Structure 1
Amino acid sequence: MEYVKEYTVKPEHIDVQGIMDGLFYPFYMEYCRHEFIKDVLGFSLEEEAEKGINMVLSQYTINFLRSLKKDDTFTVTCELFADKSDKPQIHFEQKIILNNKVVTKAVFTGTCVPATGGRPYLPDSIKEKLKGAPVLDK
Protein backbone atom coordinates (compact mmCIF):
# COMPACT_ATOMS: atom_id res chain seq x y z
CA MET A 1 0.00 0.00 0.00
CA GLU A 2 1.42 3.33 -1.04
CA TYR A 3 0.73 6.25 1.27
CA VAL A 4 0.84 9.73 -0.32
CA LYS A 5 1.00 13.26 1.11
CA GLU A 6 1.32 16.61 -0.65
CA TYR A 7 3.67 19.43 0.36
CA THR A 8 4.89 22.77 -1.01
CA VAL A 9 8.54 23.85 -0.90
CA LYS A 10 9.02 26.56 1.69
CA PRO A 11 10.96 29.66 0.59
CA GLU A 12 13.41 29.29 3.48
CA HIS A 13 14.43 25.86 2.12
CA ILE A 14 15.81 27.37 -1.09
CA ASP A 15 19.58 27.80 -1.39
CA VAL A 16 21.64 30.40 -3.30
CA GLN A 17 21.27 28.36 -6.51
CA GLY A 18 17.48 28.74 -6.47
CA ILE A 19 16.85 25.08 -5.68
CA MET A 20 15.86 23.31 -2.49
CA ASP A 21 18.84 22.60 -0.24
CA GLY A 22 19.62 18.88 -0.17
CA LEU A 23 19.20 18.72 3.61
CA PHE A 24 15.45 19.30 3.36
CA TYR A 25 14.50 16.36 1.11
CA PRO A 26 14.82 13.85 3.99
CA PHE A 27 12.79 16.18 6.22
CA TYR A 28 9.80 16.12 3.85
CA MET A 29 10.15 12.35 3.69
CA GLU A 30 10.20 12.27 7.49
CA TYR A 31 6.98 14.31 7.71
CA CYS A 32 5.25 11.80 5.42
CA ARG A 33 6.80 8.77 7.14
CA HIS A 34 5.72 9.95 10.61
CA GLU A 35 2.15 10.39 9.38
CA PHE A 36 2.29 6.92 7.78
CA ILE A 37 3.57 5.41 11.04
CA LYS A 38 0.66 6.94 12.93
CA ASP A 39 -2.12 6.53 10.32
CA VAL A 40 -1.22 3.12 8.88
CA LEU A 41 0.83 1.39 11.55
CA GLY A 42 -1.20 2.85 14.42
CA PHE A 43 2.03 3.70 16.25
CA SER A 44 2.11 7.15 17.85
CA LEU A 45 5.75 8.16 18.19
CA GLU A 46 4.88 10.57 21.01
CA GLU A 47 2.68 8.18 23.00
CA GLU A 48 5.11 5.28 22.61
CA ALA A 49 8.03 7.48 23.68
CA GLU A 50 6.11 8.35 26.84
CA LYS A 51 5.86 4.57 27.46
CA GLY A 52 9.61 4.18 26.97
CA ILE A 53 9.57 2.85 23.39
CA ASN A 54 11.58 4.82 20.84
CA MET A 55 11.31 4.17 17.11
CA VAL A 56 14.62 5.18 15.56
CA LEU A 57 16.34 5.09 12.19
CA SER A 58 19.31 2.79 11.83
CA GLN A 59 20.22 3.80 8.28
CA TYR A 60 19.04 5.34 5.06
CA THR A 61 20.09 5.68 1.46
CA ILE A 62 18.93 8.52 -0.73
CA ASN A 63 19.24 9.25 -4.44
CA PHE A 64 18.75 12.75 -5.82
CA LEU A 65 17.54 12.73 -9.42
CA ARG A 66 16.12 16.23 -9.92
CA SER A 67 15.79 19.46 -7.95
CA LEU A 68 12.78 21.14 -6.41
CA LYS A 69 12.34 24.91 -6.62
CA LYS A 70 10.54 27.57 -4.60
CA ASP A 71 6.78 27.02 -4.39
CA ASP A 72 6.87 23.61 -6.13
CA THR A 73 3.96 21.47 -4.93
CA PHE A 74 5.02 17.84 -4.81
CA THR A 75 3.97 14.51 -3.36
CA VAL A 76 5.87 12.24 -1.01
CA THR A 77 5.12 8.53 -0.96
CA CYS A 78 5.78 5.96 1.73
CA GLU A 79 5.56 2.19 1.46
CA LEU A 80 6.29 -0.42 4.14
CA PHE A 81 8.62 -3.38 3.60
CA ALA A 82 9.64 -6.26 5.83
CA ASP A 83 13.28 -7.24 6.29
CA LYS A 84 14.44 -10.17 4.16
CA SER A 85 16.73 -11.50 6.90
CA ASP A 86 14.01 -11.35 9.55
CA LYS A 87 15.94 -8.81 11.65
CA PRO A 88 13.86 -6.64 14.00
CA GLN A 89 13.69 -3.77 11.56
CA ILE A 90 11.28 -2.22 9.10
CA HIS A 91 11.96 -0.47 5.83
CA PHE A 92 10.19 2.51 4.32
CA GLU A 93 10.63 3.05 0.60
CA GLN A 94 9.91 6.68 -0.18
CA LYS A 95 9.82 8.94 -3.22
CA ILE A 96 9.39 12.64 -3.84
CA ILE A 97 7.45 13.17 -7.06
CA LEU A 98 6.91 16.37 -9.05
CA ASN A 99 4.81 16.42 -12.24
CA ASN A 100 4.76 12.60 -12.33
CA LYS A 101 8.57 12.43 -12.27
CA VAL A 102 10.62 11.02 -9.42
CA VAL A 103 12.77 13.76 -7.91
CA THR A 104 14.28 11.81 -5.01
CA LYS A 105 14.02 8.23 -3.84
CA ALA A 106 15.16 6.70 -0.58
CA VAL A 107 14.93 3.72 1.73
CA PHE A 108 14.79 4.40 5.46
CA THR A 109 15.37 1.53 7.89
CA GLY A 110 14.10 1.70 11.44
CA THR A 111 13.62 -0.31 14.59
CA CYS A 112 12.46 0.22 18.15
CA VAL A 113 14.65 0.43 21.22
CA PRO A 114 13.81 0.80 24.90
CA ALA A 115 14.38 4.38 26.10
CA THR A 116 16.38 2.93 29.00
CA GLY A 117 18.72 1.09 26.62
CA GLY A 118 18.70 -2.42 25.30
CA ARG A 119 18.47 -4.45 22.14
CA PRO A 120 16.45 -3.44 19.07
CA TYR A 121 13.04 -5.06 18.69
CA LEU A 122 9.69 -4.61 17.00
CA PRO A 123 6.52 -4.41 19.10
CA ASP A 124 3.89 -7.06 18.38
CA SER A 125 1.56 -4.44 16.87
CA ILE A 126 4.15 -3.63 14.20
CA LYS A 127 5.04 -7.30 13.61
CA GLU A 128 1.34 -7.85 12.88
CA LYS A 129 1.36 -5.08 10.23
CA LEU A 130 4.45 -6.60 8.61
CA LYS A 131 2.73 -9.94 7.99
CA GLY A 132 1.26 -8.79 4.67
CA ALA A 133 4.10 -6.46 3.70
CA PRO A 134 6.39 -7.19 0.79
CA VAL A 135 10.02 -8.00 1.62
CA LEU A 136 12.68 -5.44 0.75
CA ASP A 137 15.01 -7.10 -1.72
CA LYS A 138 18.01 -4.77 -1.47
Structure 2
Amino acid sequence: MKYSKEYVTKEEHIDVQGIMDGLYYPFYMEYCRHQYIDEVLGFNLENEAKNGVNMVLSGYTISFLRSLKKGDTFTVTCELFRDKGDAPKIHFKQSIILNGKVTTKATFTGTCVPATGGRPFLPESLKALIEEAPVLED
Protein backbone atom coordinates (compact mmCIF):
# COMPACT_ATOMS: atom_id res chain seq x y z
CA MET A 1 0.00 0.00 0.00
CA LYS A 2 1.37 3.38 -0.99
CA TYR A 3 0.89 6.08 1.65
CA SER A 4 1.36 9.81 1.15
CA LYS A 5 1.37 13.09 3.04
CA GLU A 6 1.57 16.68 1.85
CA TYR A 7 4.09 19.20 3.20
CA VAL A 8 5.23 22.78 2.48
CA THR A 9 8.91 23.67 2.29
CA LYS A 10 9.87 25.78 5.28
CA GLU A 11 11.80 29.01 4.80
CA GLU A 12 14.46 27.98 7.33
CA HIS A 13 15.27 24.94 5.15
CA ILE A 14 16.24 27.10 2.15
CA ASP A 15 19.94 27.66 1.49
CA VAL A 16 21.78 30.65 -0.03
CA GLN A 17 21.00 29.34 -3.54
CA GLY A 18 17.25 29.64 -2.95
CA ILE A 19 16.70 25.86 -2.89
CA MET A 20 16.07 23.43 -0.06
CA ASP A 21 19.27 22.22 1.57
CA GLY A 22 19.86 18.53 0.83
CA LEU A 23 19.95 17.76 4.54
CA TYR A 24 16.19 18.30 4.88
CA TYR A 25 14.86 15.92 2.21
CA PRO A 26 15.41 12.86 4.47
CA PHE A 27 13.69 14.69 7.33
CA TYR A 28 10.48 15.14 5.35
CA MET A 29 10.69 11.49 4.35
CA GLU A 30 11.13 10.58 8.01
CA TYR A 31 8.02 12.55 9.02
CA CYS A 32 5.98 10.64 6.43
CA ARG A 33 7.56 7.28 7.26
CA HIS A 34 6.91 7.67 10.98
CA GLN A 35 3.26 8.52 10.33
CA TYR A 36 2.99 5.49 8.03
CA ILE A 37 4.56 3.23 10.67
CA ASP A 38 2.08 4.50 13.27
CA GLU A 39 -1.11 4.86 11.19
CA VAL A 40 -0.79 1.92 8.80
CA LEU A 41 1.46 -0.57 10.59
CA GLY A 42 0.07 0.24 14.04
CA PHE A 43 3.58 0.45 15.49
CA ASN A 44 3.79 3.55 17.69
CA LEU A 45 7.48 4.38 18.01
CA GLU A 46 7.13 6.16 21.35
CA ASN A 47 5.03 3.43 22.98
CA GLU A 48 7.26 0.66 21.63
CA ALA A 49 10.37 2.44 22.93
CA LYS A 50 8.75 2.63 26.39
CA ASN A 51 8.21 -1.13 26.09
CA GLY A 52 11.87 -1.73 25.27
CA VAL A 53 11.65 -2.06 21.46
CA ASN A 54 13.49 0.48 19.29
CA MET A 55 12.92 0.69 15.55
CA VAL A 56 16.13 1.97 13.96
CA LEU A 57 17.52 2.64 10.51
CA SER A 58 20.34 0.46 9.31
CA GLY A 59 20.89 2.34 6.07
CA TYR A 60 19.46 4.34 3.21
CA THR A 61 20.15 5.43 -0.33
CA ILE A 62 18.86 8.68 -1.77
CA SER A 63 18.83 10.27 -5.21
CA PHE A 64 18.18 13.96 -5.82
CA LEU A 65 16.61 14.67 -9.22
CA ARG A 66 15.18 18.19 -8.84
CA SER A 67 15.27 20.89 -6.15
CA LEU A 68 12.48 22.19 -3.96
CA LYS A 69 12.13 25.92 -3.31
CA LYS A 70 10.65 28.04 -0.53
CA GLY A 71 6.90 27.60 -0.23
CA ASP A 72 6.66 24.55 -2.52
CA THR A 73 3.79 22.25 -1.62
CA PHE A 74 4.92 18.69 -2.23
CA THR A 75 3.89 15.12 -1.54
CA VAL A 76 5.99 12.48 0.21
CA THR A 77 5.13 8.83 -0.45
CA CYS A 78 6.00 5.73 1.54
CA GLU A 79 5.65 2.07 0.62
CA LEU A 80 6.65 -1.02 2.61
CA PHE A 81 8.77 -3.89 1.24
CA ARG A 82 10.05 -7.05 2.85
CA ASP A 83 13.61 -8.28 2.64
CA LYS A 84 14.56 -10.57 -0.24
CA GLY A 85 16.63 -12.81 2.03
CA ASP A 86 14.09 -12.90 4.88
CA ALA A 87 16.49 -11.00 7.15
CA PRO A 88 14.86 -9.15 10.07
CA LYS A 89 14.67 -5.95 8.01
CA ILE A 90 11.96 -3.78 6.56
CA HIS A 91 12.40 -1.48 3.61
CA PHE A 92 10.55 1.70 2.78
CA LYS A 93 10.63 3.11 -0.75
CA GLN A 94 9.90 6.80 -0.64
CA SER A 95 9.58 9.67 -3.10
CA ILE A 96 9.12 13.41 -2.93
CA ILE A 97 6.83 14.61 -5.70
CA LEU A 98 6.30 18.19 -6.86
CA ASN A 99 3.79 19.02 -9.61
CA GLY A 100 3.54 15.37 -10.61
CA LYS A 101 7.32 14.93 -10.97
CA VAL A 102 9.64 13.00 -8.67
CA THR A 103 12.23 15.33 -7.15
CA THR A 104 13.83 12.84 -4.77
CA LYS A 105 13.67 9.09 -4.30
CA ALA A 106 15.08 6.93 -1.53
CA THR A 107 15.03 3.51 0.08
CA PHE A 108 15.29 3.35 3.86
CA THR A 109 16.08 0.06 5.62
CA GLY A 110 15.22 -0.55 9.23
CA THR A 111 14.91 -3.18 11.91
CA CYS A 112 14.05 -3.41 15.59
CA VAL A 113 16.47 -3.90 18.45
CA PRO A 114 15.92 -4.40 22.17
CA ALA A 115 16.49 -1.14 24.08
CA THR A 116 18.78 -3.10 26.42
CA GLY A 117 20.91 -4.30 23.51
CA GLY A 118 20.82 -7.47 21.49
CA ARG A 119 20.25 -8.82 18.04
CA PRO A 120 18.00 -7.23 15.42
CA PHE A 121 14.51 -8.70 15.18
CA LEU A 122 11.01 -7.94 13.92
CA PRO A 123 8.12 -8.13 16.39
CA GLU A 124 5.40 -10.65 15.57
CA SER A 125 2.92 -7.82 14.96
CA LEU A 126 5.12 -6.49 12.14
CA LYS A 127 5.96 -9.91 10.71
CA ALA A 128 2.30 -10.56 9.89
CA LEU A 129 2.04 -7.24 8.00
CA ILE A 130 5.34 -7.71 6.20
CA GLU A 131 4.31 -11.12 4.82
CA GLU A 132 1.80 -9.25 2.64
CA ALA A 133 4.38 -6.73 1.38
CA PRO A 134 6.22 -7.17 -1.91
CA VAL A 135 9.89 -8.22 -1.84
CA LEU A 136 12.43 -5.47 -2.36
CA GLU A 137 14.32 -6.29 -5.53
CA ASP A 138 17.79 -4.84 -6.01
Which bracket does the TM-score occupy, shorter chain normalised?
over 0.9
2:22 is paired with a residue whose SS is coil
The equivalent residue for 2:83 is: 83
Q: Equivalents in 2 of 1:120, 1:5: separation in Å?
A: 29
The residue type equivalent to 1:41 in the other structure is: L
The equivalent residue for 2:105 is: 105
Q: Displacement, 1:3?
A: 0.1
User: Residues 63-122 of structure 1, C-alpha deviation per residue, up to 9 Å, x if partnerless?
Assistant: 000000000000000000000000000000000000000000000000000000000000
The question of 1:116 aligning with 2:124 is answered no
TM-score (norm 2): 1.00
TM-score (norm 1): 1.00
The residue type equivalent to 1:96 in the other structure is: I
Q: Displacement, 1:131?
A: 1.2
The equivalent residue for 2:125 is: 125
Q: Equivalents in 1 of 2:19, 2:39: separation in Å?
A: 31
The residue type equivalent to 2:125 in the other structure is: S
Mark the runs of 5 or more structure 1 residues left unpaired by the alignment: none
Q: Equivalents in 1 of 2:129, 2:63: separation in Å?
A: 27
The residue type equivalent to 2:14 in the other structure is: I
Q: Equivalents in 2 of 1:131, 1:109: separation in Å?
A: 16
The residue type equivalent to 2:137 in the other structure is: D
Spell out the pairing of 1:1-138 with structure 2 (5 A cutoff).
1-138=1-138
Computed over aligned residues only, the root mean square deviation of the Cα atoms, in angstroms, reads 0.3
Mark the runs of 5 or more structure 2 residues left unpaired by the alignment: none
